[in-house]
Amino acid sequence: MDLNLKNHRVLITGGASGIGLATARQFAEEGAHLVLWDVSSKVSEVAAEFKNAGVEAEAFIVDLVDLEQVTLATQSATKMDQPLHHVVHCAAIGSGKFGFPFTNLKPSDWKKTLDINIMGMVNVAHCLAPVLSAKQYGSFVFLASVAGQIGSQTDPPYSASKAANINFAQCMAKDLAKHNVRVNTVCPGMVQTPLNRSVWQAWFEQTPEPEQLSYEDWTHIKIQSIVPLGRWQTSEDIASMIVFLSSDRAKEVTGQTINVDGGFVMHW
């Protein structure tokens, strides 16, 4: 399907790996130009690979919690006479703790996750919304999680931050609609990412040895018990929805939370 994204310029946070990188690849297949932000220096290597493949790509190393860095990166990404059409925000972390029950955690275990996952999104929104609004065209897609809808007990700080992402995206959608800028959220289910594996690792380290399971066994049991389709979702599955929502094929879709989760979460 041609989504008419050729020559559109797309900014992707967390673009050096995981779902962010998968999203960049799918936008590139549509002929889009890429602006990749990541806290890792790997983002420069990723951009170079895209350039070698004939894709227009720029890389910026950005700590999204630092508003000054986000502001400067925004200025650099928009200083040339090139419009920015879409923003995809994928950058996030888990707490690295197994929070079931939540009293396993200390209040101090929450701060870094909330700073990156909530204030990182806030900084991106404040810096880039005016850019898209001035053009009276564009879209934001924020990557959240089904954990933000069901109160996942495995990592309460992550779960709470993803709920905040969903809620703030809806606020943004209402505010930016008059500027013809759409805002949606995509919620992955079970995806094999470093973040997913870190949840298992935290569980494994606090579980008595006789009850410990390998990552493969642990996730197999979990998927079979909670995912009706009974299989992993892939980074590419999530990226496909993100790219579609960014396109004019979804021009009447805003303020929505779309689950790509194999049926994990079903709402009335």
Mean pLDDT of 237-245: 98
Q: Closest Cα partner for 13 from 133, 123, 156? A: 123
Residues 201-240: tens digit of each pLDDT: 878 888 899 999 998 998 899 899 989 999 999 999 999 9
At 19-69, the pLDDT tens digits run 999 999 999 999 999 999 999 999 999 999 999 999 999 999 999 999 999
> In the prediction, which pLDDT does 153 show?
85
Averaged pLDDT for residues 98-106: 85
Nearest residue to 161 via CA among 89, 260, 266: 89
pLDDT at position 186: 98
Q: CB burial class (10 A; 0-12, 13-18, 19+) of residue 176?
A: buried
What is the CATH architecture assignment of 9-191+233-259? 3-Layer(aba) Sandwich (3.40)
Average pLDDT over residues 249-265: 97
pLDDT at 200 over 90: no
One-letter amino acid of 126: H
pLDDT, position 24 = 98
3 state SS for 167-224: HHHHHHHHHHHHHCEEEEEEEECCECCHHHHHHHHHHHHHCCHHHCCCHHHHHHHHHH
The percentage of the chain sitting over the pLDDT mark of 70, rounded to a whole number, equals: 99
Question: Tens digits of per-residue pLDDT, 144-168?
Answer: 999 999 988 889 999 999 999 999 9
Mean pLDDT of the chain: 94
Q: What integer pLDDT is reported at residue 206 of this predicted model?
A: 82
Q: Whole-angstrom Cα distance, residue 36 to residue 7?
A: 15
Q: By three-state DSSP, how is residue 110 classified?
A: coil
Could you give the CA distance from residue 24 to residue 8 in angstroms, rounded to a whole number?
12
What span, in angstroms and rounded, lies between the C-alpha atoms of 72 and 61? 11
Distance CA 268, CA 254 (A): 19
Phi and psi (nearest 5°) for 33?
-100, 145
| Residue 90: predicted pLDDT | 98
Q: Are strands 9-13 and 138-143 parallel, antiparallel or unpaired?
A: unpaired
Assess whether pLDDT exceeds 70 at residue 1. Answer: no
- What the block records as the tokens of 88 is 């995809």
Strand order in the sheet with 181-188: 57-61, 33-38, 9-13, 86-89, 138-143, 181-188, 257-260
**What's the average model confidence in pLDDT over 231-250?**
97
Q: How many CB atoms lie under 10 A from the CB of residue 85?
A: 19
**Banded model confidence at residue 130, pLDDT cuts 50, 70, 90:** very high
